[in-house]
Amino acid sequence: MFKKTIRDLDLNQVYGSGQTFRWIRLDDNTYDVPAMGRMVEITQKGEEFTFSCTKEEYNEVWDSYLDAVTDYGQIKALADESDEYLTAAIRYGNGIRILRQDLWEMLVCFVISQNNNIPRIRKSVEALCERFGEKKEWEKGRYAAFPDARTLSSAGLKDLAELGLGYRDKYLASLAEAVGSGEFSLDDLRKADYGTAHALLMKQYGIGKKVADCICLFGLHHVDAFPIDTHIRQILDGHYPDGFPIERYRGYSGIMQQYLFYYDLNSDGQSKTERTGRTAGK
């Protein structure tokens, strides 16, 4: 058991922000968090967090995973005060952080995420882990780790198709083959800058501009990546007709994007009714 004070972190908001799909919500304040080949229970009371692990494990794994060292208060303070929509979004999701998650896991999750909804993405990822992931033990019993590329590669399209991923199964099979064989090097991807990494990702079958940006943002922590999905598209159309001022936020625009995304996805009051009246569409 280890206690830690962390500012600008709200577990519920991170859980609901569409960047992680494997957290297990136990109640309003507690989650089981599987990541980096481990599992930990985290409980929140205000800015006080209790981790069901040792101080050593926290420092080794979870401090980095939660990006706890970054001062998000400082980043939020850089928002243009005259931008009412952005400042409202930041107030609404003020406990969002960009997790530093495993690259391979983010590749798989965001390939699955395309033209999909978050509850179903969670189910698909869970099914993938249960079917192919290594079974491990922790203090509460058994859990399934995230399956590696070679395992999914040797499973092949036929077995992946049984998971009900829809047409995305062939993208995942192709990706697993490329990574598992070494043809697509994750180490090269890690060493690349944002632009190079994005271009490398776009070469993969089933990875387009948006998914590549999500992988850059959530898997490589290139916080300059600004994924534009259906929600962000609607926000841009309704509130930023001349485009979001990405240049103003050069170097951390992806963090601003995440506040916008969470606000649109979860606030069903003001933000949605304030829109231009157009209904959701493609």
Partner DNA sequence: TGCCAGGCTTCAC
Partner DNA sequence: GTGAAGCATGGC
- Residue whose CB is less far from DNA, 19 or 52: 19
User: Whole-number minimum distance, CB 148 to DNA, in Å?
Assistant: 23
What b/e sequence results for 260-275 when a residue is b if at least 16 CB atoms lie within 10 Å of its CB, and e otherwise? bbbbbbeeeeebeeee
Name beta bridge partners: 144.
Answer: 135
Cβ nearer to DNA, comparing 146 with 218: 218
- Please, which residue, 40 or 98, has the CB nearer to DNA? 98
Smallest gap, in angstroms, from Cβ of residue 282 to DNA? 6
CA dihedral sign of residues 107, 110, 112, 114: negative
CB atoms within 10 A of CB 69: 8
Residues forming the site for DNA (CB under 7 A): 17-19, 110, 113-121, 123, 164-167, 170-171, 204-212, 214, 218, 227, 229-232, 257-258, 261, 265, 279-282
CB of 275 to DNA, least distance (A): 12
Structure tokens at 71: 């001062």
CB proximity list for 206: less than 8 A, separation 6 or greater: 111, 114, 168, 170, 171, 172, 174, 175
Nearer to DNA, 9 or 53 (CB): 9
The DSSP output letter for 25 is E
Nearer residue to DNA within complex by CB, 36 or 260: 260
Token reading at 127:
């099914």
Cβ 17 to DNA shortest distance, Å: 6
CB of 176 to DNA, least distance (A): 15
